[in-house]
Structure formats: structure tokens, C-alpha cells
Chains A and B, each alone.
Chain A
Amino acid sequence: MLFNSIEFVFFFIIVTGLYFLLPHKYRWFLLLAASCYFYMAFVPVYLLILAFTIVVDYFAGIYIENSSGHKRKLLLIASLVANIGVLAVFKYYNFINDNITHILGNFGIPNNIPYLQILLPIGLSFHTFQAMSYTIEVYRGNQPAERHFGIYSLYVMFYPQLVAGPIERPQNLLHQFYTKHRFDYNNVVSGLRLMLWGFVKKLFIADRLAIYVNAVYGNPEEHTGITLIVATVFFAFQIYCDFSGYSEIAIGSARVMGFDLMKNFNRPYLAQNISEFWKKWHISLSTWFKDYLYISLGGNRVSLPRVYLNLFIVFLISGLWHGANWTYVIWGGLNGIYLITAMMRRKYIDQYIGKIIPVNNRFIKVVNILITFILICFSWIFFRAESLDDAMLIISRVFTFSGPLFYYNPLMAYCIMAIAFLLISEILLERHGNIIWKTYNSNRFLRYSSYVVLVLIILLFGVFDGGQFIYFQF
């Protein structure tokens, strides 16, 4: 079931209504049943895969807590292998097989390993990572093992964040299922407001930009450098609004029921450097990698060259997490190189530049934001291109400005209007957020007008035939 569907609107109203009508002790069951229904609306049989990881991690959590020493570690490894094994089979098996075929082909040896004819279960990488964070936290002693099987299942399956996050930690989410949430006016209104903003981002901005981006990236060989640049910039805003829009609908729909999910985006395109960008983009995944992989590799406690190597490994794996394709691996690696270069610059160069140009100079800030945005846009080429060949073709053309710009009205006008709307609202909130929110919250007319205007924007300019969210495929 897609968030941007009428079915979801009915589903949300019914589930939320029943949630507040039911006594607290039955609510976990309602949410679990609703989450199963929500997930089964995609491909019902894949619920079995989810059930497998839930059962494995539920018992693993209890046995880890009750064990000590070497056995405790073995149990954790067994649980992680089971989770990563599911990912490997469904997400990476055909990719690995493809590469084996390619390598053997170079030596003229045929590859007889069969390919799997399966679809990737929706949101597999997200709920697998959320499940893994539970067993790791139990192992580290930061989280007691959950004894209630239903509540644990709900932790993995909670419908608002089941298919595309935010990837929650057990310390933040599990205890909330035991808290008795009463109907709270402020939670309900701010949750609905966040959902409305998420729908605007998805329907008005992301899906509109997608029309242009898909037309260009679907046939890159037929487009000029300037068109490919425009399409790449549009894609940067498309993926941001698609994913952050999804996250806001998820966080908002949970907040209406009183649940507090972690923030996933914080105006990333206003970041002044790559390090800051990754603190503002897909925060739940970035912190997951930091907490469970980067720190496990030694974090900042090792030598500087090793820190750089660890960062590079983390970004490569992060790329692979997104998709079983070399384009994603290169995207991850490129971002790793950006980050390492930024760290080196900070350590070896900035101290001298800082003496010449004041860091707080507004012009320098704008230049830094633009440079960061251009670097990120360049890496998005790999993320969006359908193959490595396409990515290389696009890069070779991006540097040639000859030829006309592909555009057709009024699509181009809509795209520019959508991006301008987003940028103006984000810049205003970044610079004057406190004053804006204070005025907004104290002025009922302003609040009501904004709701009406946002609904009208969706009705007038939203794309209603748009597809699913980009991150569902991961």
C-alpha cells in the first residue's frame, strides 16, 4: 500500500480511529494486524520472509541476554548471518552471479549457477537493519531482550516505518509500545501537518520532477550535456522530496498516534560541506552505519589512515545497501572520497585559509553550499543512471554544453516552480525558523490558511498518476 494512495488515506483513518477507541492492552494487536495488512498489500507471500527474521531475532535476543562470553557472541553472529543471509539471497544473489558470469566469461568458462526468478521483497534492507540493531543492542547490553513476541514483531513491522524507515533503534521505539498514548491535540495536529507537508513534497515536487528526469535518464544517449545537467539537478530535488516526503508522512502518521520516530532529514541541500550533508541526509541510516559498523571497525580511536579507510569501507557498504549494482557502489565510494577529502582539507588546509577569509562570511557560506550541492549532484548521476555505461555516457556529455535544452511547457515551468517553492521555504526556515514557527503557532488564521493553500497546491499541481517512492526498491 502506497502512502500516496486513496487506500492509505482510508487505512490511516480507520487504524488511527480504532487505535484511540481500543483499550491500551489491545492496541499492540491492532497495530500488528494493521501492519501485516499494510505489508501484504504489496506481495502477501513476502510476509513469510519478514516472519522468518522476526522469529530468529526474537529468540536470538532472549538467548543472547541469557548467555555470556563466547556463546553470547556466537548467538549474535548467528542472528546477523541469518539476517544478512536473507538480504544476500533476495538482494545480492543475482548480482553476485552476474559478476561470476562476467569474470568466468573473460576466461571463456560458462557459468552454470542458475539465476533466481524472484522480486526483491519491499523494504527488505530497512526492516533487516532495524532487526539487526535490536540484536546488536541486546548484545551490547543497551537494551533488554523483548519477551512479548507481539510487541517485538511490531517493533520490526510498525507500519509507518516498515518499508522505508526511518530505521529505528530499540531504545527509542520498543518502550513506546508499552506507553499508553491518549489523544493529544498537539501530537495529532502536528502529525497531520507533517503528513500534509510530506504529501506536498511527494505529489507536487518529486513526482513532477520525475516526469522530466525519467524522460532524460531513460534515453541519455539522445540528450545534450545541458539537458543532462538539468535532469541531474532535478533528480537531486526529486529524490530529496520523494524520500523526505515519505519520511515525513511516516513520522507524522506515527505521531498522530503518539509515537515519536526519529528525524530523517534536516534540509540537507543547505549543508556547507559533505560531512554536514551526511549529518542531514537519511539520518537514521547514517547513524546506523556509524553506530554499528564505523565504531565496530575502530571509529576515531585508530590511526588517521585507518580512519580514512574505515570511512571508505562504510560508504562502499552503504552504496551496496542501496542496491545490487556497481552504480550504487561507486556512488557510495565517491561520497566516501568526498568525505575523506573534506577531512583532509579541514586538517591540512582550512587553518591557513581561515586566517585569510573569515569562516562566517556569508559569501563563503553560499559558495560552500553550492560546491557541496554540485558534488552531491555529480554522485547522483551514478545513483540514478540505469547502468555504469549510462553513467559514463552522461558524465562525458555533462562537460559539453553544446546543443539545445530538452524541454516542453508547461512541465518545465512546473518543475522550476516546485523547486523554487521548496528552496524558498527551506531557506526561510533555516534562517528565520524560530520566528516563523512562533508566529505560525500563535496565529490561527495563518495556520488554517496554510492548510487550505497546501491542499489546493496538491489538487492543482500534484501528480496523481505518479508511481511509488524511490526508496521502496531498497
Chain B
Amino acid sequence: MNLVSINSDMKAFFKNLLIVLFFIVLADQVVGAMLRYFYFRQESGLEYQTIYSMNKTSEDVLIFGSSRASHHYIPSIITDSTGYSCYNTGREGNFTLYELAILRGVLKRYKPKFIVVDFTVKEFLEFPGSYDPLSNLLPFYRGNPDIRDIIKLRGDYEPLKLSSAIYPFNSLMPVILIGNMEYNKKRKANDNGYFALHGKMKHPPQELKLDRTYPIDSNKVNAFRSILELCNAKNIPVMVVVSPYYDKYSSQDYSVELAKEMAAKYDVPFYDFLQYSPIAGNPEMFQDKDHLSYSGARILSGKIASLIRENISSSNE
């Protein structure tokens, strides 16, 4: 076969390509290093919540979950009632896999006294794009080798993309800027991870039927199992809670059923408050059909605090 000879155009192209690539890599590393520095320097905002959850928590009781967790559990009420310090690591759009990553980050540093996992309806549902929110963990890829398996679920090429120093901070520049501003630190929008909502529902609850079966994401199921296993192995008391929904459900959710079975296997208390009567269906208790208002969160947090007390005392016996 007659392979083409290298001509002068090729030489010039590859020489110039190397120069351009060198400057791209240099700029990527410099800008990436600056973003990393300012990212971990934040002291407020949503990103800071993940930084705090992963690297800084020292509280006795930790709450895990999604946006529902972050709007449903008020740490100050739990602390007042139990005497244990409490932090809510719940974050919008994030589910079991994120919770497992945070738990691994926490257990590297210390052993909490109690863990509450908020479980949502359809938690294990398989759907396209469900790993996208794991982008919140990208800044931790470099410093936390034990969560890399979770981040790699985002795609086969994720490790390659993460060779860029900027990529972990993609789309975060304004957030990082605001997170570093003095005025933002004074806003104090949250109470140890809890974000209060102050609206109420304008329409009555609907009667809904939950799906008995749907495609299940085995990675999410395994992550949930790992959370229970890790807590068991470290001897940390844990309970799983399905917090209330506004609408009335006439059937059981598939994910909730599976989670209940797994919890029973590990001897973990499972509290299904999906239709918890003082809250579910009450328009004053909800900001929207999935999220409690401050009034609802107060009642639920009181209930959770008493359950934590009970569970800690029974585990001590």
C-alpha cells in the first residue's frame, strides 16, 4: 500500500496544532486551578452545602435526601428536641447515588450518631438523564477517589472529560462568584441545610394511583443498599422515612415497596408517612404537591425528632 508522504502542509499543521494545544491546556489548568480555589473557599449557597456535607460536617444527626429532604426536616427543631446537633444534607434534584457519595465523604472523617434517609416515590425509576445531577459531585472527583465509581456512572468518557481542570466547574462560575461575595454570607438563607418554603396549595388534593411496576435502575437500588450496609457496618443507627405528599395515593409505590423490603432485611426502621394524616392533603402544609411549607416541615420535624429519640434509646439498650 502506498501511504501518503508527509508534506510541508502537514508539518506546519501539526507544529501549529501542538502550539495551540499547549496554550489550551495551559489556560485550562490555570483557569481550572483558580475556579477550584474559589469553589472550596465558598461559605454560602447551594454549592457550599455540598462542600460542607462532604468535607466539613461534624453533627450528630445527618439528614440525607433530595429537595424534599432539604425542605422537610428542620435541624433546629431536631436539636432542640433531642439534644443532638443536626445537619440536613438534602439537595435539589439529587437522589440515592448522591446520598451514598456524601455518606462516604462523611464516614472518611467521623461517625455520626444517627442518620435519617428521606426516600421519595419513584426513587429507583430508571429514566434518561437521571445521572445528570451527579455533576454536583464533579469538583470532588480529584480529592475523593472513593466516590469516583459513582461519578463514572455519568458516562464512559467522564474520566477523560475530568482530565480538564475547568470541566468539574462547568457552568458554576457565577455561582462561585456569588458564593465568595461578602453580601451572600450575610443572607443566611438556610438553617443547617434546611430551606424554608412559605407558600400554600391553592387546589384540593387529587386522588392518584401509583405505578406498581416501572423500569428500575439497579445502580440506584444498589446505592440504597450500600447506604444501609455502610451504616450497619459502622454500627450507625439509621431510619428511612417517606415524608408526606399532598395528593392522596390509593396504591403502593414500587420503589417504596422495594426499599421497605431492603430495610427489613437490614433491620432498619422504615416509616411510611406518605399519607401522614396531620400533614398529607392539608393545603396549609404544602408549598407545592411534593414539598412541605414551613408549617408542614415543623410538624414533620417534631415527629422525626421523637422517632430519633426512640430509636437511639432502643439502640442503646
Q: A448-B20, A452-B20, A452-B27 are in contact. Are A459 and B170 (CB under 8 A)?
A: yes
Do residues A189 and B170 form an inter-chain contact, with CB atoms below 8 A? Answer: no
Q: A460-B170, A463-B171 are in contact. Are A23 and B4 (CB under 8 A)?
A: yes
Interface residues of A in 448-472 (CB under 8 A from B): 448, 451-452, 455-456, 459-465
Selected from B1, B4, B23, B170, the residue in CB contact (under 8 A) with A183 is: B4
Q: Interface residues of B toward A: which range?
A: 20 to 34
Do residues B170 and A464 form an inter-chain contact, with CB atoms below 8 A? Answer: yes
Do residues A456 and B12 form an inter-chain contact, with CB atoms below 8 A? Answer: no
Docked complex Cα distance between A374 and B111 (Å): 61
B217 on the A face (CB < 8 A): no
Do residues A23 and B1 form an inter-chain contact, with CB atoms below 8 A? Answer: yes
Do residues B27 and A6 form an inter-chain contact, with CB atoms below 8 A? Answer: no
Do residues A459 and B166 form an inter-chain contact, with CB atoms below 8 A? Answer: yes
Do residues B157 and A20 form an inter-chain contact, with CB atoms below 8 A? Answer: no
A185 on the B face (CB < 8 A): yes
Do residues A21 and B4 form an inter-chain contact, with CB atoms below 8 A? Answer: yes
Nearest CB of B to A451, in Å: 5
Interface residues of B in 1-56 (CB under 8 A from A): 1-4, 7, 9-10, 12-13, 16, 19-20, 23-24, 27-28, 31
Query: Which residue of chain B has its CB nearest to the CB of A444?
Result: B16
Docked complex Cα distance between A437 and B27 (Å): 25
Q: A456-B166, A465-B132 are in contact. Are A189 and B173 (CB under 8 A)?
A: no
A413 on the B face (CB < 8 A): yes
A442 on the B face (CB < 8 A): no
A317 on the B face (CB < 8 A): no
Docked complex Cα distance between A460 and B31 (Å): 9
Nearest CB of B to A129, in Å: 30
Do residues A182 and B171 form an inter-chain contact, with CB atoms below 8 A? Answer: no
B204 on the A face (CB < 8 A): no
Query: Which residue of chain A has its CB nearest to the CB of B164?
Result: A459
Interface of A is mostly: helix
Do residues A183 and B175 form an inter-chain contact, with CB atoms below 8 A? Answer: no
Query: Which residue of chain A has its CB nearest to the CB of B27?
Result: A452
Do residues A183 and B20 form an inter-chain contact, with CB atoms below 8 A? Answer: no
Docked complex Cα distance between A409 and B3 (Å): 55
Interface residues of A in 1-57 (CB under 8 A from B): 6-7, 20-23
Interface of B is mostly: helix
Docked complex Cα distance between A410 and B23 (Å): 29
Q: Interface residues of A toward B: which range?
A: 20 to 34
A414 on the B face (CB < 8 A): yes
Docked complex Cα distance between A22 and B1 (Å): 8
Docked complex Cα distance between A448 and B27 (Å): 12
Instruction: List the B side residues contacting A410 at CB < 8 Å.
Output: 171, 174-175
B264 on the A face (CB < 8 A): no
Selected from B16, B24, B166, B175, the residue in CB contact (under 8 A) with A460 is: B166
B135 on the A face (CB < 8 A): yes
Do residues B13 and A462 form an inter-chain contact, with CB atoms below 8 A? Answer: no
Docked complex Cα distance between A16 and B9 (Å): 15
A343 on the B face (CB < 8 A): no
Do residues B31 and A188 form an inter-chain contact, with CB atoms below 8 A? Answer: no
A184 on the B face (CB < 8 A): yes
Nearest CB of A to B157, in Å: 4
Query: Which residue of chain A has its CB nearest to the CB of B23?
Result: A452
Docked complex Cα distance between A456 and B169 (Å): 12
Interface residues of A in 317-348 (CB under 8 A from B): none
Do residues B160 and A462 form an inter-chain contact, with CB atoms below 8 A? Answer: no
Instruction: List the B side residues contacting A23 at CB < 8 Å.
Output: 1-4
Instruction: List the B side residues contacting A21 at CB < 8 Å.
Output: 3-4
Instruction: List the B side residues contacting A459 at CB < 8 Å.
Output: 28, 164, 166-167, 170
Instruction: List the B side residues contacting A185 at CB < 8 Å.
Output: 9, 12-13
Nearest CB of A to B19, in Å: 7
Instruction: List the B side residues contacting A409 at CB < 8 Å.
Output: 174
Selected from A183, A414, A448, A464, the residue in CB contact (under 8 A) with B9 is: A183
Interface residues of B in 42-82 (CB under 8 A from A): none
Q: A6-B161, A456-B166, A459-B170 are in contact. Are A465 and B135 (CB under 8 A)?
A: yes
Do residues B174 and A455 form an inter-chain contact, with CB atoms below 8 A? Answer: no
Instruction: List the A side residues contacting B161 at CB < 8 Å.
Output: 6, 464
Q: Besides the contacts A409-B174, A452-B27, A465-B132, what 4 more A-B pairs have beta carbons closer than 8 Å?
A: A448-B20, A451-B20, A452-B24, A459-B166
A sample of 26 cross-chain residue pairs with beta-carbon separation below 8 angstroms, ordered by A number, consists of A6-B161, A7-B157, A20-B10, A22-B1, A23-B2, A23-B3, A182-B9, A183-B4, A183-B7, A183-B9, A184-B9, A185-B13, A188-B9, A189-B13, A410-B174, A410-B175, A451-B20, A456-B24, A459-B28, A459-B166, A460-B31, A460-B169, A460-B171, A463-B171, A464-B161, A465-B129
